[in-house]
């Protein structure tokens, strides 16, 4: 019993051993002066910067504005990509009209448009939201479209034989059939969303986490810079956890997502 308990605790803690060891080594190296503060601040300094930013409220302000840009861009671009994917997946004429153009546009790296976007929108909010929207649109479009085109034709035929109208067919057969692919698109989109935002905020912004870190760089506040990087990582992880939860909910019928028990 005792040994079983110990080994259980051991296995659940094991994955954390290496990171903790690294942080400790990092702290020691900084305090011993092996690593200069200008290169890398000690973890304790990052933690202090974290507290300071929380207490003077700047952290929430920057995180809030970044999250807002991210979500706006995701809504607009993801929504457009999903809509176009559904349209092209369901309607043959729309596919002929739109798909090849989108496939061409897809090859333009959206970050290459930054200079143009700055000319169009200046460094206002629109510029960042626009870049994020463009970035997330393509993975959403491609995966939605692919998901819908690969829905089992047999199921569609069955649904027609059993008298489902176009709307019911879409809602009960096509959309659920495409859903796992749509979720893959969403995961990709989230990754691109953060990446785009980091780049856009770093290049030109007067608020947001990217601005916070770039501003800190000017004053050589490496602790704030590292804090900014960590916040990005945390936000990315948070988005991932939320999508996983959404996935488990939407795909609860899928054998791969059934934790235990067999009933709905």
Partner 1 sequence: MTLLPLSKPQGDDTATTMTETTDEPRRGGIGLPLRLDSVTRSFGSLKVLKGVTLDIPRGQFVAIVGRSGGGKTTILRLVAGLDLPTSGSVVIGGEVVCGLQPSVRLLFQDARLLPWQTVIGNVGVARGKDWKETARAALEDVGLAGRENDWPAVLSGGQRQRVALARALVSRPGVLLLDEPFGALDALTRLEMHKLTERLWQENRFTTILITHDVAEAVALADRVLVLREGHIALDIPIDLPRPRREHIDPKSAEIKARILKEV
Q: Tokens standing for 132?
A: 């994020």
User: Is 162 a residue that touches partner 1 (CB under 8 A)?
Assistant: yes
Per-residue binding string, partner 1, 136-155, x by CB under 8 A, is: ------------------xx
The dihedral over CA atoms of 10, 16, 17, 20, expressed in degrees to the nearest 10, equals -140
CB closer to partner 1, 25 vs 158: 158
What number of CA atoms fall less than 13 Å from residue 37's CA on the CB side?
Answer: 10
Other beta carbons within 10 angstroms of residue 66's beta carbon come to 26
Q: Please, what is the minimum distance in Å from the beta carbon of residue 242 to partner 1? A: 21
Tokens found for residue 224:
């704030």
Could you tell me which stretch among 12-20, 122-130, 164-172, 182-190 binds partner 1 (CB under 8 A)? 164-172
If one asks whether residue 160 binds partner 1 (CB under 8 A), the answer comes out as yes
Which CB atom, from 98 or from 155, has the smaller least distance to partner 1? 155
Residue 183 C-beta: closest distance to partner 1, Å: 13
Residue with smaller CB distance to partner 1, 168 or 234: 168
Of 36, 38, 41, 43, nearest to 22 by C-alpha is 43
| Chain residues 217-256 in contact with partner 1, contact rule CB under 8 A | 251, 253-255
57: left (phi over 0), alpha (psi -120 to 50) or beta: left
159 binds partner 1 (CB under 8 A): yes
Q: How many CB atoms sit inside 10 A of residue 146's CB?
A: 16
3 state SS of 262: coil
Is residue 172 close enough to count as binding partner 1 by CB under 8 A?
Answer: yes
Rule CB under 8 A: is residue 191 a binding residue for partner 1?
no
Name which of 143 and 222 has its Cβ closer to partner 1. Answer: 143
The reply on whether position 257 binds partner 1 by CB under 8 A is: no
- By C-beta, is 56 or 157 nearer to partner 1? 157
> Which residues neighbour 128 within 8 Å (Cβ) at sequence distance 6 or greater?
69, 73, 197, 200, 201, 205, 208
Single out the residue of 46, 133, 179, 192 in contact with partner 1 (rule: CB under 8 A).
Answer: 179
Token pair for 36: 């200069």
Cα 171 to Cα 227: distance, rounded to the nearest angstrom = 44
Q: Which of 21, 158, 230, 233 binds partner 1 (CB under 8 A)?
A: 158
Our CA angle for 20, 243, 79, nearest 5°, is 140
Of 43, 177, 191, 236, the residue at the interface with partner 1 (CB under 8 A) is: 177
Q: How far is the CB of 255 from partner 1 (least distance, A)?
A: 5
Question: How is residue 136 written in tokens?
Answer: 């997330």
**Rounded distance between C-alpha atoms, residue 64 and residue 46, angstroms:** 20
Rule CB under 8 A: which residues touch partner 1?
154-155, 157-164, 168, 172-173, 176-177, 179, 251, 253-255, 258, 262-264
């Amino acid at each position: 019993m005792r040994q079983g308990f110990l080994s259980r605790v051991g296995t659940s803690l094991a994955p954390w051993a290496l990171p903790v060891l690294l942080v400790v080594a990092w702290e020691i190296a900084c305090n011993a002066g092996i690593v200069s503060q200008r290169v890398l601040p000690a973890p304790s300094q990052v933690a202090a910067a974290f507290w300071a930013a929380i207490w003077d409220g700047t952290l929430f302000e920057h995180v809030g504005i970044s999250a807002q840009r991210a979500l706006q861009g995701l809504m607009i671009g993801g929504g457009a990509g999903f809509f176009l994917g559904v349209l092209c997946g369901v309607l043959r004429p729309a596919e002929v009209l739109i798909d090849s153009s989108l496939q061409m546009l897809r090859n333009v790296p959206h970050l290459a448009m930054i200079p143009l976007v700055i000319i169009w929108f200046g460094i206002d909010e629109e510029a960042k939201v626009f870049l994020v929207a463009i970035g997330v649109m393509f993975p959403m479009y491609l995966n939605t479209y692919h998901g819908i085109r690969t829905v089992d034709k047999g199921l569609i035929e069955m649904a027609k034989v059993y008298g489902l109208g176009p709307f019911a067919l879409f809602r009960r057969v096509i959309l659920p059939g495409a859903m796992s692919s749509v979720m893959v698109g969403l995961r990709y989109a989230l990754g691109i969303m953060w990446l785009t935002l980091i780049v856009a905020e770093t290049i030109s912004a007067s608020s947001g986490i990217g601005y916070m870190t770039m501003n800190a760089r000017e004053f050589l506040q490496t602790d704030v810079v590292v804090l900014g990087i960590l916040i990005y990582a945390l936000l990315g992880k948070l988005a991932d956890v939320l999508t996983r939860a959404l996935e488990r909910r939407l795909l609860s019928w899928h054998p791969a997502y059934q934790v235990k028990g067999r009933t709905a």
